[in-house]
Amino acid sequence: MIYIYTFTRLCLFIALTLLSSAAVYGNSYWYQYGESPVLMEYSNNGAMQTLNFLYYKEGMLVAEIDGGFGEVSMPVGEQMARQLKVSIPGITKAKSLVNKGNLIGALKILRKSVYPLIKFSRLPEEFTQLHSANKILLRSLIQSDKLDEAKYLLAKIPLEYASLQYSELAIELLNKYTLIKDWDSVIEITRSLPHKNDHAANIKVIMDSADKLRSAGRYDAVILLYQSIQKDMDTSLQKNLQIWLAYSLVLADRQKEASSIIDGIEKPNIEDDIFSLYQLLIGARAHRSGDYTKALDLLTRGFVRTQTSYSWVPEHLYLIGDSYLQSGDSIAAKNVWKELTILYPKSPWAGKVTEY
């Protein structure tokens, strides 16, 4: 009896340790529910058959047979999507709670019922019942600020094979992390966003995220982001991207790499929209080298050609102000930065000058 009692306590200790480790290094709910099989009813020649599906791989749904001692693989197609009915206990009640704003109550149901579905997220979108449940869970987590839990689940979903709605959820999460300035998570999610073919709309989001990361001084991450989308950018925007990439290399003090790109960029005409962006680039290079007089000349000549709608104007104003400051003219710097905070109060660059 003593042996049994000791063994039981040992098993309990191991189980608690594993749960604790999952909570620290991953997600305890995934440890509890994520790998559970999913019960689905399958119409086989008019007869309903209930199977426990284990995973999806290489276009095949795999279910257990013979009480778990064997497996059967079934090819996935539109017909199967029509024939399968997924069992999601409590989903109707969970939806009702979400609609009433009781996200915490809904999550208690959704975690147990929907976590097992996440591993099937690569199934075609025709499996609407499954994907709808996944999205409800993710949206509820994001809206209730369970950000790390949502990030953990999204990392298990191959976004490049999923519908744009999954990317939209990732972007919603990205915006939340941006607000709290969790830059490591912003980098992680931005890198996960697919941007090819049907996901080309994500390129703008990646560029916007890069702007915010650049203002936070995360230059190396920004450089990698630009390089990752470089080949997939519209040809009309390639020159802009080259300038942004070179500019980020300048800020990261990787001057040799920056110069090799700058030397290959044809200087825009003064009437071109990106003339001021080019001036920001070469002005930043002069600023980084400590030649603040030259930086002010280049930056000011570019600034007079800007329009208020250009995304780089706040950054341009910030650098002009800093060039004045580094030159010893703090009054001029304060005047420029005052204009920055008035015109672009929500810009991260305005936030950088509040201490002055």
Residue 130's contacts (CB-CB under 8 Å, 6 or more residues apart) are 86, 117, 120, 123
User: Is 20 a residue whose pLDDT tops 50?
Assistant: no
What was the pLDDT predicted at 101? 95
310-351 tens-digit pLDDT: 989 999 999 999 999 999 999 999 999 999 999 999 888 898
Tokens representing residue 62 in the block: 């795999």
Q: At 68, phi and psi to the nearest 5?
A: 95, 0
In a domain, 292, yes or no: yes
Provide the CATH number for the domain around residue 317: 1.25.40.10
What was the pLDDT predicted at 308? 85
User: Is 82 a residue whose pLDDT tops 90?
Assistant: no
What was the pLDDT predicted at 1? 42
8 torsion bin: left (phi>0), alpha (psi -120 to 50), beta (else) = alpha
What was the pLDDT predicted at 10? 45
Across residues 164-181, what is the average pLDDT?
Answer: 97
Across residues 128-148, what is the average pLDDT?
Answer: 96
Across residues 81-102, what is the average pLDDT?
Answer: 92
User: Is 24 a residue whose pLDDT tops 80?
Assistant: no
Across residues 282-291, what is the average pLDDT?
Answer: 96
C-alpha 184/C-alpha 344 separation (Å) is 25
User: Is 188 a residue whose pLDDT tops 70?
Assistant: yes
Tokens representing residue 323 in the block: 């060039």
C-alpha 88/C-alpha 283 separation (Å) is 59
User: Is 156 a residue whose pLDDT tops 80?
Assistant: yes
Angle between helices 275-289 and 292-303 (to 10 degrees): 170
Percent of the chain exceeding pLDDT 90 equals 71
In a domain, 254, yes or no: no
Domain end (from 27, 59, 77): 77
What was the pLDDT predicted at 353? 84
In a domain, 250, yes or no: no
In a domain, 327, yes or no: yes
Domain end (from 16, 48, 77): 77
Top pLDDT among 180 and 273 is at 180
In a domain, 253, yes or no: no
191-227 tens-digit pLDDT: 999 999 899 999 999 999 999 999 999 999 999 999 9
Domain tally for the chain? 2
Domain end (from 77, 98, 129): 77
In a domain, 42, yes or no: yes
In a domain, 338, yes or no: yes
- Residue 337 structural domain: 267-356
Q: Give the length of the chain.
A: 356
102-119 tens-digit pLDDT: 999 999 999 999 999 999
In a domain, 135, yes or no: no
**pTM for this model (two decimals):** 0.86
Across residues 243-253, what is the average pLDDT?
Answer: 96
Q: Are strands 47-57 and 60-65 parallel, antiparallel or unpaired?
A: antiparallel
